[in-house]
Amino acid sequence: MTETRQRAEPPAPLPPLDVLRVFCAADGRHGNTLGVVREGRQCRDRAARQALADRLGHSETVFVDDPERGVVDIYAPGVRLPFAGHPLVGAAWLLDVESLQAEAGEVWVRQDGEFTWISARPEWVPPRTLQRFGSPAEVDALPAPPPGEGWLYAWAWEDEAAGRVRARAFPRRDEVIIEDEATGAAALLLTAHLGRALNITQGRGSQLLTAPAPNGEIELGGRVRFAS
């Protein structure tokens, strides 16, 4: 009896894609990877966008629907996001616009030397556990992920007077991303909670800057580079 085998379909070709690292350290290393599909109209369907974000496996992937107006659509593996910090900082740097239009609302943009900044509202961020530890060493010693459920942002003061923070972030929602290298949304929540500007070192050495802004908004800034 002859065995009939079906030939596996090759994966669909990827659309043109820029890959960035957002919230790099001063020496240009580290940062959280971001996929940017500049021609979002090539992948209009939400299910197709989600499938592509899952396939790429970046912490987030952003689709640009209107580059002149800054209209963007953000996805993480397994979920669409109305707002996320590092995709918007990365898109702001890449598109060079005055504002971005995310589902959560309008995000203002400014450039300041090597840093790209956005202004956003902390209430756009889903609730997350902000757990303070006694020292940076305790944060560094955490397993990845720590036991428990729900999004955890573990942090400790490196220098409280100077606003310097050591942090690590654990989505604890799946096995795709065990630890998030640089999490702008969590940094917004921590800044709103503490009510002061922060200089955050997260993950392996990514740097996030924040500051309270007028009208209850928070500014979030960092360096962006093309991934090599």
Start-end ranges of CATH 3.10.310.10 in the chain?
18-119, 124-215
Class of domain 18-119: alpha beta
> Tell me: the pLDDT tens digits for 152-185?
999 999 999 999 999 999 998 777 789 999 999 9
Residue-level pLDDT at 44? 86
> Tell me: the pLDDT tens digits for 84-95?
999 999 999 999
pLDDT exceeds cutoff 60 at 32: yes
**Upper half-sphere CA count for residue 37 (Cβ side, 13 Å):** 24
Residue 43 one-letter amino acid: C
> Tell me: the pLDDT tens digits for 56-72?
999 999 999 999 999 99
pLDDT exceeds cutoff 80 at 25: yes
Residue-level pLDDT at 132? 98
> Tell me: the pLDDT tens digits for 133-160?
999 999 999 999 999 999 999 999 999 9
In the CATH scheme, what is the homologous superfamily, with its name and number, of domain 124-215? Diaminopimelate Epimerase; Chain A, domain 1 (3.10.310.10)
**Upper half-sphere CA count for residue 213 (Cβ side, 13 Å):** 18
Specify burial of residue 64 (Cβ count, 10 A radius: 0-12, 13-18, 19+).
Answer: buried
Name the band, by pLDDT with cuts 50, 70 and 90, for residue 15.
confident
Residue 95 one-letter amino acid: L
**Tokens 């966008």 belong to which residue?**
49
Beta-strand (E) ranges in the chain?
A: 18-24, 32-37, 60-66, 71-76, 79-81, 99-102, 105-112, 115-120, 129-132, 152-159, 164-170, 198-202, 206-212, 218-226
Name the band, by pLDDT with cuts 50, 70 and 90, for residue 122.
very high
Residue-level pLDDT at 10? 54
- Cα–Cα distance between 35 and 58 in angstroms, integer? 7
Q: What is the mean pLDDT of the chain?
A: 93
What residues contact 30, with CB distance under 8 A and at least 6 apart? Answer: 21, 23, 24, 181, 182, 203, 204, 205, 206, 207
Q: Shortest CA distance to 191 belongs to which of 156, 159, 163, 222?
A: 163
- CA angle 48/51/53 to nearest 5° reads 110
Enter the pTM of the model. Answer: 0.92
Q: 150-157: which pairs have CB atoms within 8 A and are 24 or more residues apart?
A: 151/126, 151/186, 152/128, 153/128, 153/129, 153/183, 153/186, 153/189, 153/190, 155/130, 155/131, 155/190, 155/200, 156/132
> Tell me: the pLDDT tens digits for 123-133?
999 999 999 99
Task: Report DSSP state, residue 47.
Answer: H
